[in-house]
Amino acid sequence: MADRDKILRYFRGSGDEELAARLVDLAENARKTSKFRVSEFLDPHGRNVAEIVAANFDQIRLETDGGFANAERCKAAFVAEDYRGKLDFSLICYLVKWDKRYYTLGHRDILGAFMGMGCVREILGDIILVPEGAQFVADKAFANYIESNLTQIGAANVSLQQIDREELQQREEKVKIITATVAALRLDAVAAAGYGVSRSRMADEIKSQNVKLNWKEAKNASQAVAEGDVMSFRGRGRVELAEVRGLTKKGRCAVTLKRYM
């Protein structure tokens, strides 16, 4: 039997208590019904929270699905150990097209259109640009609303069609390797090196809540970063601290960064 209060206390200090509470509710319901319960779309940090919650429940396993083979955003299913039926993650897949002769649209434009429709991020999975336009995965419960309202992205008229899951393409990310030295393994210093901006500019962006560390809003500019940590700067993609190579003769930290374009 999982201790609900103990689980929520664990997440209280990190600000994840609300998400953890929703996931605990799903796990408890799955166990009571001997079936399964599925979450909204979660980013990698949210999936970590789900894994910790599931680990605290006997006879519950966790499975995830985001449609794409290498999906970043996935739904999490809490499944009773004795459940033998088929899981339904309630996913629907789309291809959205526009006239590329006149309009250039990116991930931010498409996501902005969803926000403008009044949709919350949790109903939407990954958005992948493809030669024809863009593919995305969404919560099937909102299919009618999406199909009725997603007719324009910015100034571009768009067409939307459902596609089979097998038609989803794998994300192809361009990775730029950056070697740099930083004064300290602080978020402002490392992120500034990764995005090619000044440390003071990055500190301002962190203060303006435009930067995330491991998919969570950055706390402050002096927040420590370590190998494997992932930073994201709104509209500028992700940077991973791939390696800390040691100190230079001048006492600076030599780092290798991967910037995902």
Distance CA 42, CA 76 (A): 7
- Kindly state the percentage of the chain with pLDDT values over 70: 99
Residue 192 has pLDDT above 80, yes or no: yes
For β-strands 133-139 and 124-130, DSSP reports them as antiparallel
Q: What are phi and psi of 84, to 5 degrees?
A: -115, 5
Give pLDDT tens digits for 147-190.
Answer: 999 999 999 999 999 999 999 998 777 899 999 999 999 999 99
Q: Report the pLDDT value the prediction gives residue 236, as an integer from 0 to 100.
A: 84
Q: Report the pLDDT value the prediction gives residue 261, as an integer from 0 to 100.
A: 75
- Kindly state the percentage of the chain with pLDDT values over 90: 87
Residue 202 has pLDDT above 80, yes or no: yes
Q: Report the pLDDT value the prediction gives residue 3, as an integer from 0 to 100.
A: 81
Residue 1 has pLDDT above 60, yes or no: no
User: How much is the CA Rg of the chain, to the nearest whole Å?
Assistant: 21
Q: DSSP H helical segments within 56-122, as ranges?
A: 107-116
Q: Report the pLDDT value the prediction gives residue 2, as an integer from 0 to 100.
A: 67
Residue 84 has pLDDT above 60, yes or no: yes
3-state helix, strand, coil in the chain (%, to 5): 30, 35, 35
Mean pLDDT of the 237-257 span: 95
Q: Which is nearest to 38 in space by CA: 163, 122, 147?
A: 122
Return mean pLDDT, the chain.
Answer: 94
CA dihedral 261, 120, 156, 170 (to 10 degrees): 40
Q: Report the pLDDT value the prediction gives residue 47, as an integer from 0 to 100.
A: 95
Q: Report the pLDDT value the prediction gives residue 60, as an integer from 0 to 100.
A: 95
Q: What are phi and psi of 126, to 5 degrees?
A: -75, 155
Give pLDDT tens digits for 203-229.
Answer: 999 999 999 999 888 989 999 999 999
Residue 81 has pLDDT above 90, yes or no: yes
Task: Kindly provide the b/e burial profile for residues 95-104, where b requires at least 16 CB atoms within 10 angstroms of the residue's own CB.
Answer: bbebeeeeee
